[in-house]
């Protein structure tokens, strides 16, 4: 039995995982990153449009700060977010941008003087100030009051991932590629590492660590059509679930991105609309202003996706052999802008659709995009129930996104969470409580259990094949656990997914080829994916309200009275057919921003009984604080400084302050 | 310093020697082709190059000296270029397979460079040695005699083809290698350069092969293609 | 947009060079698969169909399947390219697929570009070398907007390995850094945040495994899926490196 020891085992080599590894390494701890693919190929690379951070350098972002970013984020989350975490996040995001700038990310910069832009389908002239010249600029994204999304053309994630990948190499951190964690090794509520399978040789190795961090991204691939990379199968989240101890949060909160191309399901960035692109229907009519007169195409993603689906249901979509779609028109932006600032979009349109988006409209429709749900952690990134297990990025439910995340906030979360969580992991590792006191017997037990599972798939005579079951799961998820949900459909979805899970216990693999054996890989991942699907479907069925991306046609109101909480799922019995579902209250009394109207979408919610009281309390608190000192006002309402690692507590310098 | 400056110097030297040789050949072949204007024209040009206009008479030693310098540059260039040749059978096979699969113009042209270069080790060396040691024989008659009766025409035929191709492609390679003439749109400029390679090759090959034909004609008939009797043939 | 129903497509023959090094009995050999083409079919779709229907153990790498991540570099009808964004309609009815040469073969069409790229990065130190750590609480260093765009232009490399597979030099001399490496040097040289000098860069690429090994065959430039200006960048670096003294 091969055993590898390290201080911090990081599972996942995307932005969140790499930033975590760099963070603990710089604190002097040994770390190993495991990745399904070469780290620079991680799905983080596909983030196109940008990263939100309230620098406020561009004139359209002027006056922006952490407070505005916080407010946008909380409203975007439909009050599902942990507001303290959202505060930590908005405070550290500018630091993350600046750190990455130092590491070489070529952020687009403010150019002083006049420039043309398209806002609300009209050409306008924007004047950038001389004092901001050369500082990092930002573009507009949905659900934000200010232009706040910092970017490098439309290859932001790529530029960030390569800068971080290079930092990982510079720090001498080993990244073990094509390694897949099959199970977490744990005992008595403490995680000790993972059983890992090589996707080259097929061999199992036990990795033992003081801290194990899961940063494996989302579970979009349980859906039939997803913008996610094919590796985003959620297996990192699933191995946490399979401990029976770790909790998952808000698994039913699944985001649909309004504009993925049809039929390939490849993303075209929100930057298309942020930069002035518009949505049109079968008649060429721009329909979003009819539904959302104020934010139009730039309402939050859940709202735009629903409005688009609603419009297509009225028969105003464009018919195609691949189903209805709508048009995204960025030709209004002009050839220069499209070919320079939306290059990846141009490439994607050229290669997958054979069109030039500077001239032609792009066929798009809402497509599964992001998993707000994930491993439930505290503000430090540690699992609420399994000690020594940390999670960050999309794989985690930290929880700054609540039931809907804003565009540009997830790529920001990856690095910000990596920065913050790595400090807490380092603190944890510095403590003797993190010592690895685990018997090799236990390790052997875990490795042997995994090996037996694999052997059973190859030679256990199981008669089910992974392909058809998986296909059915993907269909159920997209058809019945999609943008619009009803109790009846969710009932059927849960039932059928249970059946599929039962069938998946009888999987068999035809090929016994030595090495990675892709058929075997598909087979052992399937039950994990089915469990996640069940968590999402069950959570959706039980949540009889609509919040953020979770929309129940039979319960269209957001119901703060009964549902201002986080869904928590665990899977304590390996052989069970359903997870345990519970709820964690989100206390209004602690909120800096009590629930209210988002400012877009339908104004339709049931108040929480504590809301009015909290509003009054806030008013009273603010009377005692200097109205011009926004930091003092914030601290009076909901202090969060003490939650941050000390090195990230200083305030962010702002351009106005230097003038 | 870990890396010495030698590789930089050698790389530059390969380019410079190549450029010098290509420019030399550009003129050499034009001068040779003066035979197309008649024996008298060739006589005048070869005489002028041997200093007749300055010293009043041909000084063949000038040729010897020039050839000596060219020979040296040639050997240097060959030596430098050889460093890039496939070094063993495995590399040779790998490159050939690669070229066949890729079907990529610039890659295949390099193979042409290798082979023309390799051929010139022998062909050009023989030529240079003869001219260096017998400069006094250069002239319409002497050259024609050598070409026809000393059986140099097959050598010159092959050498002409090799040198024109090698030099034209070599100049193109120099341009893309050092980024000359990139202009605003390097991709389009590269296509133009490539076209220029083929035009130059065609022009020079036509001209030089015609000149070779003219010498053969003189050798066989004793007169140039204008009918002027060439004195001294066979002497 | 096409509203008509699917017409029957061409009959495609896809020949895949198969070999599983993990299996001692495996020998490299061509395997042939017949598929019916349909509109919008890419090699990503075709290979998935082959795995589903004929060869469950077929190995290949796709991640983003959108031409962004660079995982799926393979030799398509003799030329390296990204399989995921190659529409079968742009190819003849007989398609041959082979793994990228030079990189360690994992199996069938899957090769280990990651290890190679990491080695290259370590050798060339492809990261910003700064003397001081910037203060992340303060305003960032300013940069001219045009310069930021120029750096991004070179930063777009996805390390797919196509340039290496298309390089005659790299094929013959395995230690050659290739266009991917030289482009990185051009990128960091352009970046004012990297305080290395030309003399420093000469230390890593000033030899025949570096820029002077390049024979300007331009296979790299012509196959680069991201259309990086490799020709001009390598020429530029060469000019800079010969003037180091």
Report CA dihedral (B208, B214, B219, B224) to the nearest 10 degrees: -150
Kindly state whether residue C189 falls inside one of the protein's structural domains: yes
Same domain, C89 and C146: no
Which residues fall within 8 angstroms of residue C189, CB to CB, at 6 or more apart? C196, C198, C201, C237, C240
Count of CA atoms in the C-beta half-sphere (13 A) of A457: 26
Same domain, C45 and C98: yes
When computed from its CA atoms, the radius of gyration of chain B, rounded to whole angstroms, is 20
Residue found by looking up tokens 């990065």 in the block: C121
Kindly state whether residue C1 falls inside one of the protein's structural domains: no
What secondary structure letter does DSSP report for A318?
Answer: B
Phi-psi region of B222 (alpha: psi -120 to 50; beta: other; left: phi over 0): left
B51: tokens are 């200093």
Same domain, C101 and C190: no
Taking the CA of residue B78 and the nearest CA in chain C, the distance in Å comes to 15
How many domains are contained in chain C?
Answer: 2
Chain centre to alpha carbon of residue C29: 24
Same domain, C89 and C149: no
Tell me what pLDDT residue A608 has: 95
Q: Rounded mean pLDDT of B12-34? A: 97
Using CA atoms, how far apart are residues A2 and A451, in angstroms rounded to an integer? 13
Angle of the C230-242 helix axis to the C198-205 helix axis, nearest 10 = 110
Tell me what pLDDT residue C102 has: 95
CB contact under 8 A, C155 and A352: no
Tell which A residues from 278 to 337 touch C, by Cβ distance under 8 Å: 318-321, 325
Q: Rounded mean pLDDT of B14-31? A: 97
Same domain, C75 and C159: no
B115: tokens are 């082979």
Kindly state whether residue C6 falls inside one of the protein's structural domains: no
What secondary structure letter does DSSP report for A316?
Answer: I
Tell me what pLDDT residue B53 has: 87
Cβ–Cβ < 8 Å for A438, A208: yes
Q: Can you give A568-612 as a three-state secondary structure string?
A: EEECCCCCCCCCEEEEEECCHHHCCCCCCCCCCCCCCEECCCCHH
Cβ–Cβ < 8 Å for C134, C53: no
Q: Identify the segments of chain A with pLDDT beneath 50.
A: none
Using CA atoms, how far apart are residues B34 and B17, in angstroms rounded to an integer? 26
What secondary structure letter does DSSP report for A69?
Answer: H
Edge-to-edge strands, sheet with A362-371: A254-261, A362-371, A326-329, A278-280
Cβ–Cβ < 8 Å for A163, A105: yes
Size (chain C), residues? 245
Q: Are strands C79-82 and A605-606 parallel, antiparallel or unpaired?
A: unpaired
> Hey, which bits of A235-286 come out as E strands?
248-249, 254-261, 278-280
Using CA atoms, how far apart are residues A340 and A115, in angstroms rounded to an integer? 15
Residues of A forming the active site = 301
B148: tokens are 């026809």
Count of CA atoms in the C-beta half-sphere (13 A) of A76: 30
Which residues fall within 8 angstroms of residue A577, CB to CB, at 6 or more apart? A498, A501, A502
Kindly state whether residue C211 falls inside one of the protein's structural domains: yes
Residue B204 in this model has a pLDDT that exceeds 80: yes
Neighbouring C-beta atoms of residue A512, cutoff 10 Å: 12
What secondary structure letter does DSSP report for A315?
Answer: I
Tell me what pLDDT residue A497 has: 98
Same domain, C68 and C147: no
Cβ–Cβ < 8 Å for A640, A87: yes
Chosen for mutation from B5, B6, B8, B181 (greatest number of chain C CBs closer than 10 Å) is B8
Same domain, C163 and C79: no
Neighbouring C-beta atoms of residue B153, cutoff 10 Å: 18
pLDDT tens digit sequence for B58-101 = 899 999 999 999 999 999 999 999 999 999 999 999 999 999 99
CB contact under 8 A, A516 and C106: yes
Kindly state whether residue C137 falls inside one of the protein's structural domains: no
Is there an interface between A and B (3+ Cβ pairs < 8 A)? no
Find the closest chain A residue to C134 by CA distance.
A102
* Neighbors of chain C with 3 or more C-beta pairs under 8 Å: A, B
Kindly state whether residue C99 falls inside one of the protein's structural domains: yes
Q: Is C7 on the interface with A (CB under 8 A)?
A: no
Using CA atoms, how far apart are residues A54 and A74, in angstroms rounded to an integer? 15
Using CA atoms, how far apart are residues A271 and A293, in angstroms rounded to an integer? 20
Same domain, C69 and C159: no
Angle of the A487-504 helix axis to the A518-542 helix axis, nearest 10 = 150
DSSP β-bridge partners for residue C14: C33, C95
Q: B187: cis peptide before it, omega within 30°?
A: no
| pLDDT, tens digit only, all 245 positions of chain C | 344 445 678 999 999 999 999 999 999 999 999 999 988 899 999 999 999 999 999 999 999 999 999 999 999 999 999 999 999 999 999 999 999 999 999 999 999 999 999 999 999 999 999 988 889 999 999 999 999 999 999 999 999 999 999 999 999 999 999 999 999 999 999 999 999 999 999 999 999 999 999 999 999 999 999 999 999 999 999 999 999 87
CB contact under 8 A, B7 and C215: no
Which residues fall within 8 angstroms of residue A394, CB to CB, at 6 or more apart? A16, A217, A218, A370, A371, A374, A410, A413, A414
Domains present along chain A, CATH in parentheses: 255-369 (3.90.700.10), 459-585 (1.20.58.100)
Tell me what pLDDT residue C2 has: 40
Q: In the structure, what pLDDT confidence band is assigned to residue B8 with cuts at 50, 70 and 90?
A: very high
Apex A146 CA angle, A635 and A310, nearest 5: 110
Using CA atoms, how far apart are residues C74 and A286, in angstroms rounded to an integer? 42
Q: Is C58 on the interface with A (CB under 8 A)?
A: yes
Using CA atoms, how far apart are residues C105 and C115, in angstroms rounded to an integer? 11
Residue found by looking up tokens 């808000």 in the block: A250
Same domain, C88 and C158: no
Helix or strand holding residue B139 (H, E): none
Question: Judging by beta carbons within 10 Å of its beta carbon (0-12, 13-18, 19+), is residue A400 exposed, middle or buried?
Answer: buried
When computed from its CA atoms, the radius of gyration of chain C, rounded to whole angstroms, is 21
Residue B235 in this model has a pLDDT that exceeds 50: no
Kindly state whether residue C45 falls inside one of the protein's structural domains: yes
Same domain, C82 and C19: yes
Tell me what pLDDT residue C4 has: 44
Helix or strand holding residue A89 (H, E): helix A83-102
**Contact list, C238 vs chain B (CB under 8 Å):** 11, 177-179
CB contact under 8 A, B98 and C79: no
**Contact list, B95 vs chain C (CB under 8 Å):** 168, 171-172
Tell me what pLDDT residue A208 has: 98
Q: What is the CATH number of the domain that holds C217?
A: 1.10.1060.10
Kindly tell me the number of DSSP H helices and DSSP E strands found in chain A.
Answer: 19, 22
Using CA atoms, how far apart are residues A424 and A400, in angstroms rounded to an integer? 18
DSSP β-bridge partners for residue A128: A113
Helix or strand holding residue A190 (H, E): strand A190-198
Kindly tell me the number of DSSP H helices and DSSP E strands found in chain C.
Answer: 9, 7
Taking the CA of residue B101 and the nearest CA in chain C, the distance in Å comes to 5
CB contact under 8 A, C62 and A39: no
Q: What is the CATH number of the domain that holds C55?
A: 3.10.20.30
Using CA atoms, how far apart are residues A654 and A69, in angstroms rounded to an integer? 14
DSSP β-bridge partners for residue A550: A547
**Boundaries of domain holding C197:** 125-130+142-242
Q: Measuring CA to CA, which residue among B4, B3, B37 is closest to residue B207? A: B37
Q: Is C90 on the interface with A (CB under 8 A)?
A: no
Same domain, C157 and C223: yes
ipTM above 0.85, yes or no: yes
Percent of chain A's residues with pLDDT above 70: 100
CB contact under 8 A, C216 and B177: yes
Residue found by looking up tokens 């990263």 in the block: A51
Size (chain A), residues? 659
Kindly state whether residue C136 falls inside one of the protein's structural domains: no
Q: Is C23 on the interface with A (CB under 8 A)?
A: yes
Phi-psi region of A103 (alpha: psi -120 to 50; beta: other; left: phi over 0): alpha
Nearest-CB residue to C142 (from A134, A166, A170): A134
Same domain, C192 and C105: no
Q: Measuring CA to CA, which residue among C132, C90, C208 is closest to residue A354? A: C90
Phi-psi region of B36 (alpha: psi -120 to 50; beta: other; left: phi over 0): alpha
Tell me what pLDDT residue C3 has: 41
């Amino acid at each position: 039995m091969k055993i590898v020891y390290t201080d911090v085992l990081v599972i996942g080599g995307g932005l969140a995982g790499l930033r975590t590894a760099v963070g603990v390494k710089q604190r002097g701890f040994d770390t190993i990153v495991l990745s399904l693919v070469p780290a620079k190929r991680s799905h983080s690379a596909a983030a196109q449009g940008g990263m939100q951070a309230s620098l406020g350098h561009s004139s359209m972002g002027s006056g922006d700060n952490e407070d505005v970013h916080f407010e946008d984020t909380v409203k975007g989350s439909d009050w599902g977010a942990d507001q303290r975490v959202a505060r930590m996040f908005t405070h550290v995001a500018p630091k993350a941008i600046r750190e990455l700038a130092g590491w070489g990310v070529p952020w687009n910069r403010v150019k002083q003087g006049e420039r043309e832009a398209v806002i609300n389908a009209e050409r306008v002239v924007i004047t950038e100030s001389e004092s901001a010249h050369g500082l990092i600029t930002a573009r507009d994204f949905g659900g934000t009051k200010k232009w706040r999304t910092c970017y490098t053309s439309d290859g932001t994630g790529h530029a960030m991932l390569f800068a971080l990948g290079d930092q990982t190499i510079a720090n001498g951190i080993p990244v073990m590629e094509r390694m897949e964690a099959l199970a977490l090794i744990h005992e008595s509520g403490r995680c000790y590492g993972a059983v890992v399978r090589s996707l080259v040789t097929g061999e199992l190795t036990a990795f033992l660590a003081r801290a194990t961090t899961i940063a494996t991204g989302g579970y979009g691939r349980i859906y039939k059509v997803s913008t996610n990379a094919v590796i985003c199968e959620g297996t990192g989240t699933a191995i946490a679930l399979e401990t029976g101890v770790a909790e998952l949060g808000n698994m039913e909160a699944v985001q649909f991105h309004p504009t993925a191309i049809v039929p390939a399901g490849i993303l075209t960035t929100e930057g298309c609309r942020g930069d002035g692109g518009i949505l049109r229907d079968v008649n060429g009519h721009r329909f979003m202003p009819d539904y959302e007169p104020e934010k139009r195409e730039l309402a939050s993603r859940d709202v735009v996706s629903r409005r688009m689906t609603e419009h297509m249901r009225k028969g105003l979509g464009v018919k195609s052999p691949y189903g209805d779609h709508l048009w995204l028109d960025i030709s209004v932006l002009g050839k220069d802008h499209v070919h320079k600032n939306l290059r990846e979009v141009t490439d994607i349109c050229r290669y997958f659709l054979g069109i030039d988006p500077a001239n032609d409209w792009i066929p798009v429709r809402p497509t599964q995009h992001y998993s707000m749900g994930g491993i439930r952690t505290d503000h430090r990134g540690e699992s609420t129930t399994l000690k020594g297990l940390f999670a960050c990025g999309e794989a985690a439910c930290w929880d700054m996104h609540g039931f809907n995340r804003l565009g540009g906030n997830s790529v920001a979360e990856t690095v910000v969470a990596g920065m913050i969580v790595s400090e807490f992991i380092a603190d944890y590792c510095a403590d003797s409580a993190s010592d690895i006191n685990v018997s090799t017997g236990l390790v052997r037990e875990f490795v042997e259990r995994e090996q037996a599972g694999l052997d059973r798939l190859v030679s256990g005579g199981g008669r089910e094949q992974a392909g058809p079951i998986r296909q059915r799961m993907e269909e159920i998820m997209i058809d019945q656990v999609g943008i619009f949900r009803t109790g009846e459909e969710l009932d059927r979805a849960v039932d059928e997914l249970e059946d599929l899970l039962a069938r998946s216990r009888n999987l068999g693999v035809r090929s016994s080829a030595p090495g990675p054996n892709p058929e075997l890989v598909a087979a052992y991942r399937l039950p994990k994916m089915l469990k996640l699907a069940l968590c999402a479907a069950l959570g959706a069925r039980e949540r009889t309200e609509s919040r953020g991306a979770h929309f129940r046609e039979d319960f269209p109101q957001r119901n703060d009275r009964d549902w201002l909480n986080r869904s928590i799922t665990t899977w304590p019995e390996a052989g069970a057919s359903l997870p345990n579902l519970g709820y964690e209250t989100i206390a209004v009394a602690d909120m800096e921003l009590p629930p209210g109207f988002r400012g877009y979408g339908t104004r339709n919610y049931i108040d929480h009984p504590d809301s009015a009281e909290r509003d009054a309390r806030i008013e009273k608190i603010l009377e005692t604080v200097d109205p011009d000192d926004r930091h003092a006002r914030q601290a009076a309402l909901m202090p969060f400084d003490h939650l941050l690692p000390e090195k990230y507590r200083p305030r962010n310098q702002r351009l106005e302050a230097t003038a | 310093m870990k890396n010495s400056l030698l590789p930089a110097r050698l790389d530059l030297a390969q380019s410079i020697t190549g450029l010098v040789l290509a420019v030399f050949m550009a003129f050499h072949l034009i001068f040779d082709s003066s035979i197309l204007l008649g024996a008298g024209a060739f006589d005048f040009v070869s005489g002028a190059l041997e200093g007749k206009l300055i010293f009043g008479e041909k000084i063949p030693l000038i040729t010897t000296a020039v050839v000596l310098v060219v020979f040296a540059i040639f050997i240097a260039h060959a030596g430098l270029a050889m460093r890039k040749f496939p070094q063993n059978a495995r590399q040779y096979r790998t490159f050939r397979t690669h070229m066949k699969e890729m079907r990529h113009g610039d890659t295949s042209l390099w193979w042409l460079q290798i082979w023309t270069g390799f051929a010139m080790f022998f062909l050009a060396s023989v030529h240079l040695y003869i001219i260096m040691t017998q400069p006094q024989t250069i002239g319409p008659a002497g050259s024609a005699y050598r070409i026809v009766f000393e059986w140099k025409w097959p050598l010159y035929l092959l050498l002409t083809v090799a040198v024109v191709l090698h030099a034209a492609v070599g100049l193109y390679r120099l341009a893309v290698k050092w980024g000359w003439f990139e202009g605003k749109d390097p991709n389009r400029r590269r296509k133009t350069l490539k076209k220029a390679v083929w035009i130059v090759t065609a022009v020079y090959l036509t001209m030089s092969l015609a000149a070779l034909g003219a010498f053969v004609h003189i050798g066989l008939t004793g007169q140039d293609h204008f009918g002027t009797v060439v004195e001294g043939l066979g002497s | 947009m096409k509203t008509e129903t699917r017409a029957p497509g061409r009959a495609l023959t896809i020949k895949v060079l198969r070999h599983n090094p993990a299996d001692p009995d495996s020998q490299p050999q061509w395997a042939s698969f017949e598929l019916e083409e349909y509109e919008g079919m890419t090699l990503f779709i075709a290979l998935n169909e082959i795995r589903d229907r004929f060869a469950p153990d077929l190995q290949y790498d796709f991640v983003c399947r959108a031409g962004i991540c660079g995982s799926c570099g393979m030799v398509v009808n003799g030329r390296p390219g990204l399989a995921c964004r190659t529409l079968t309609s742009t190819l003849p009815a007989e398609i041959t697929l082979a793994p990228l040469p030079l990189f360690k073969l994992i199996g069938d069409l899957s090769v280990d570009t990651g290890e190679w790229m990491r080695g290259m990065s370590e050798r060339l130190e492809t990261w910003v070398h700064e003397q001081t750590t910037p203060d992340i609480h303060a305003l960032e260093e300013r940069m001219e907007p045009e310069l930021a765009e120029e750096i991004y232009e070179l930063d777009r490399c996805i390390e797919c390995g196509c340039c290496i597979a298309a390089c005659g030099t790299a094929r013959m001399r395995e230690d050659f850094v290739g266009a991917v490496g030289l482009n990185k040097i051009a990128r960091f040289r352009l970046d004012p945040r990297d305080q290395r000098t030309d003399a420093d860069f000469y230390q890593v690429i000033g030899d025949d495994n570096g820029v002077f090994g390049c024979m300007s065959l331009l296979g790299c430039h012509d196959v680069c899926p991201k259309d990086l200006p490799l020709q001009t960048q390598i020429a530029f670096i060469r000019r800079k490196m010969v003037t180091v003294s």
